[in-house]
Amino acid sequence: MTLPSLVLNQRRILITGAARGLGEAFARACLQAGAKVVIADVQVERGRALASELGGHAHFVEMDVSRQDSVQQALQNALAWLGGLDGLINNAAITNSGGKLMHELQEEMFDRVMQVNIKGVWLVTTAAATALAASGSGRIVNIASDTALWGAPRLLAYVASKGAVMSMTRSMARELGDQGITVNAIAPGLVVGESTEYVPAARHAHYQAGRAIQREQLPEDCTQAVVFLLSQAAGFISGQVLPVNGGFVMN
């Protein structure tokens, strides 16, 4: 399945957590659609290697989304390379607590998930807002999770954080709309890939059996929705959370 060519022609996109997994898939899809992409991640070697592989329309910046100083420095570097900013994908996230019941979670583990998954979205969005407004048609896509829509067990910290991302999406859309910025989120299901290798086979089977479309979910199932929300075609869509999960959860 391929994306329409050049639907993001010359759009300048920053993607957090893009050195691997779903973030890498977003980077590849945006480039295929004609965008210039900055890969932002704490994984320096992997991020640089990916940017080098992807060619002249991709660039890497080191960013720890949980630290304001790191976010601001990385954004400054990204803007210097891009020359502006048209789109932001808030993808960076950690699980850290998968497979544990809520009474088994450690306080520092819980706090770390919140710092990256919630605080990170706030820090990066706040830092990028001025540049996105200057573009005249800024787009933000937050990556949530359908685990927060059905209350996945043994994943409490992550589920809570992604529920917060959904709520933040709506509030951000209200605050940024008068600056010409749209803010939406997708809520993927269980995507097959490197970042979900830890998930037990029983959970994969539970998802697949419960989907209206009964097959594995692949990264490209998510990338096309995100590219659309970044495009000019989505200019009057804001504050929405789109489950992208083959009908496992239906609004």
Task: Please identify every residue annotated as catalytic.
Answer: 158
Residue 147 near residue 188, CB atoms below 8 Å: no
**Residue 132 structure tokens:** 């996105």
CA distances from 51 to 42, 179, 202, 222, 242 (A): 14, 31, 35, 21, 29
Query: What is the secondary structure of 136-178 as a DSSP string?
Result: SS-EEEEE--THHHHT-SS-HHHHHHHHHHHHHHHHHHHHHGG
Q: In angstroms, rounded to a whole number, what is the distance separating the alpha carbons of residues 191 and 211?
A: 13
Q: Is residue 137 within 8 Å of residue 235, measured between CB atoms?
A: yes
Q: How far apart are CA 61 and CA 41, in angstroms?
A: 7
Q: Which residues pair with 243 in a beta bridge?
A: 187
The closest alpha carbon to 163, from 143, 142, 184, 149, belongs to 149
Q: Roughly how many angstroms between the first and final C-alpha of the chain, as a whole number?
A: 26
Tell me the CA distances in angstroms from 102 to 78, 94, 200, one per residue in order. 38, 17, 18
